[in-house]
Structure 1
């Protein structure tokens, strides 16, 4: 279960104790980009980040390169590092990959899915419905992961985690700009019902449609400006 506030509070305590490691800096900046605290195009100056995270410039540089690989940061030849822009092509690729990976994970997980796992996902859904938009991406990823963990496929789950992180900034944007929360919540409840019935066909159909619909709405929003 992911609690973004406790993650950041813990993160802050770690920084005060031993300075910013690469992992600390990646986690902190990723959270700020996903939550919208750092907007697309915002400059990421290494000297400023080194001061903020109480680190030398080397871990800051390494963290920015890792975030570049995740699609959160881009390097411009004459302007340094910046928060990567959002784009329709990026959304399309992320959500196509999510459908393939997450439907596979759910199909493998369903025979091992216990009522406890489903109850955990339902509890996360309750939190989603009262959480601010800035926390939606992290809580949504936790909701989905609760249903996939019984698959017992660590490589697949790590791949899904990477895609979820990339999708989170877009999902938070959808909740704010597209008023998408109501539809997403209803689709989550449909998925939970199908999982409780152990109806594989219905569960996979609900999941694929849920991810595809969100991706299409985001692509349309980005293409129309």
Structure 2
């Protein structure tokens, strides 16, 4: 029993450390390339190195941190040009796949999407950022899953994985960002349910473009402040 309690405390401390490190990275307090020294962070936060190490592994999975030989963990770079290219490709391909997929979506597909949206809403409101990208990717993937274009779908799934880090960042920027994401996902699924394929495709394009522009503005603003 005591061992289980200790494990729960360790997970809680690691999550809290990840939340604090994520906040510092997102705010620009830790700029791109900043070295995240486990010993110093552990002393500053008053915890052992184990939850710090777990937190850094979690943030590396989110793309916010990367491991560099002879330096250890450093804050990853955020690339405006990469964002522009990845989201432009998504904006071109996802609406095309959606148009082909929507007529073939089944009630079971819509039930699954409703479940994802409900879970997505809970995670957004609870600020559990680690799952935002995963749920966003699952929702988009189901919407396009019946397009019968496997090669294009494979490209889009790869793009969704590559933009996962940026998606989480965009959602975390403000309460307005999370609220708009909720509203756009709800409306997107509603339009698909009612068979408004043209409206759904147009909304999906705006949804992707909005995320792209918000991210580019955020990164440009943060770089101006740190210059």
| TM-score normalized with structure 2 length | 0.65
Identify the residue that residue 119 of structure 1 maps to in structure 2: 111
Summarize the Cα distance change of 1:141–1:183 in structure 2 as closer, same or farther, 3 Å threshold.
same
Given the alignment, which residue of 75, 83, 91 partners 2:83? 91
Given the alignment, which residue of 115, 135, 138 partners 2:134? 138
2:156 maps to 1:160: yes
* Structure 1: 5+ residue stretches without partners: 1-28, 47-78
Answer with 1 or 2: which has the greater Rg.
2
Query: How far off is 1:43 after superposition?
Result: 2.9
Query: How far off is 1:87 after superposition?
Result: 1.5
Summarize the Cα distance change of 1:104–1:137 in structure 2 as closer, same or farther, 3 Å threshold.
same
Identify the residue that residue 213 of structure 2 maps to in structure 1: 216
Distance 1:94 1:219 in 2: 12
Is the contact between residue 121 and residue 143 of structure 1 (CA under 8 Å) also seen in structure 2?
yes
Identify the residue that residue 64 of structure 1 maps to in structure 2: none
Distance 2:191 2:74 in 1: 42
Q: Secondary structure at the match of 1:150?
A: coil
Distance 2:135 2:68 in 1: 26
* Structure 2: 5+ residue stretches without partners: 1-55, 223-227
Aligned length: 162
Distance 2:57 2:81 in 1: 20
Given the alignment, which residue of 103, 108, 112 partners 2:100? 108
2:183 maps to 1:176: no
Distance 2:205 2:61 in 1: 23
- Which deviates more, 94-103 or 82-91? 82-91
Kindly report structure 1 stretches of 4+ aligned residues shifted beyond 4 Å.
29-32, 79-84
What is the aligned-residue RMSD (CA, Å)? 2.4
